[in-house]
Amino acid sequence: MLLVLAALAAPGTAAARTREYWVAAEPARWNVVPNGLDAIHGMRFDRSETIFPTTTYRRYTRRWRHPLRLRDDARAGAGRIPGPLLRARVGDRLLVHFLNRDTRTGNAHSMHFHGVEYAPSSDGAFVPGFSGRDGNVPVGGTYTYRLHAGRDSAGVWPYHDHGPAMAASLAGGMYGALSILGPRERRPDREFVVMFAPFGGFQAIDGRAFVGNTPVFQSRVGDVVQWDVLAIGDEHHTFHVHGHRWRGADGVPLDTRTLGPAESFRVRWREDAPGTWLYHCHVESHMANGMIGLYRVRR
Amino acid sequence: MRARLGTAVLGALALASPPAAGAAVGVVSIPGQSFNPSRLTIAAGDTVTWRNADFLEHDVRAADGSFDSGHLRRFAFFARRFDNVGSVPYLCTIHPFMRGQVDVLAALLSGPPESVLAGQPVELQGRAGAGATSVALERTLADGSWRAVGTTAPGPDGAFAFVVAPDGPSTYRAVTAAGSSAAVTVNVVATVAVAVTVRVRRQQRLVEVATRPAAAQTLATLERYSRWHYRWRPHARARLRARGHATFRLRSGARGLVRIVLRATPHGPLLATSTPVRVTNGKPAVDPLVAIVHGPMAAASRRG
Distance (Å) from the alpha carbon of A42 to chain B's nearest alpha carbon = 4
CB contact under 8 A, B228 and A201: no
pLDDT at B6: 32
Q: In this predicted structure, what is the pLDDT of residue B231?
A: 94
What pLDDT was estimated at residue B16? 34
pLDDT of residue B168: 82
| Chain A partners within 8 Å of B226 (Cβ) | 212
* pLDDT confidence of residue B122: 84
**So what's the pLDDT on residue A231?**
98
Q: Tell me what pLDDT residue B294 has.
A: 57
Of B230, B299, B301, the CB nearest to A35: B230
Smallest CA–CA distance from A211 into chain B, residue: B229
- List the 282-301 stretch of B: residues with Cβ below 8 A of A: 289, 292-295, 297-299, 301
Contacts B291 to A, Cβ<8 Å: none
Partners of residue B287 in chain A, C-beta under 8 Å: none
Using CB atoms and an 8 Å cut-off, which of residues 230-249 of chain B contact chain A? 230-231
**pLDDT per residue of chain B (304 residues) written in tens, 0 to 9:** 222 333 334 444 433 333 344 444 789 999 999 999 999 999 999 999 999 999 999 999 999 999 999 999 999 999 999 999 999 999 999 999 999 999 999 999 998 877 777 777 788 999 999 889 999 999 998 888 999 999 999 998 899 999 998 888 899 999 999 999 999 998 887 677 888 889 888 788 999 999 887 777 889 999 999 999 999 999 999 999 888 899 999 998 889 999 999 888 888 778 888 999 999 888 999 888 887 875 434 444 444 3
Q: How does pLDDT run across B207-254, given as a tens digit for each residue? A: 999 988 777 788 999 999 999 999 999 999 999 988 889 999 999 888
pLDDT at A14: 56
Q: Quote ipTM for the complex.
A: 0.85
Residues of chain A with pLDDT under 50: 1-13
CB contact under 8 A, A42 and B231: no
Contact A211 B230 (CB under 8 A): yes
Dmax (CA) for chain B in angstroms is 84
Cβ separation A212–B231 shorter than 8 A:
yes
pLDDT tens digits along B133-162: 999 999 998 888 999 999 999 998 899 999
User: CB contacts < 8 Å between A and B, how many?
Assistant: 47
User: Chain B partners of A48 at a C-beta cutoff of 8 Å?
Assistant: none
What does the alpha-carbon distance between residue A272 and residue A70 come to, in Å, rounded to a whole number?
A: 27
